[in-house]
Amino acid sequence: MTMSLGPYASFIVTSYAAVALVVAILVGWIVLDYRSQTERLRELDRSGVTRRSGRSATDRS
């Protein structure tokens, strides 16, 4: 199944390649940021910092 893209074939292929590259970079960035954030949360938990959302509504501090 060969598709003829006409005189704009190089532009179309380059555009799709650029979009695929940008999406791959964004996915990689998200994965790295997720790992960084989870490690930071582990460090905070180890140091004794607690989350405010972990308190009940009746707790006052």
Q: What is the pLDDT of residue 52?
A: 73
| Buried b or exposed e, range 9-24, using 16+ CB within 10 angstroms | eeeeeeeeeeeeeeee
Contacts of residue 55, defined as CB under 8 A and 6 or more positions apart, other chains included, come to 61
Contacts of residue 13, defined as CB under 8 A and 6 or more positions apart, other chains included, come to 5
Q: How confident is the model at residue 58 (pLDDT cuts 50, 70, 90)?
A: low
pLDDT digits (tens, 9 = 90+) for 14-35: 999 999 999 999 999 999 999 9
Residue 61, pLDDT > 90, answer: no
pTM: 0.66
Q: What is the pLDDT of residue 10?
A: 93
Residue 42, pLDDT > 70, answer: yes
Residue 55, pLDDT > 70, answer: no
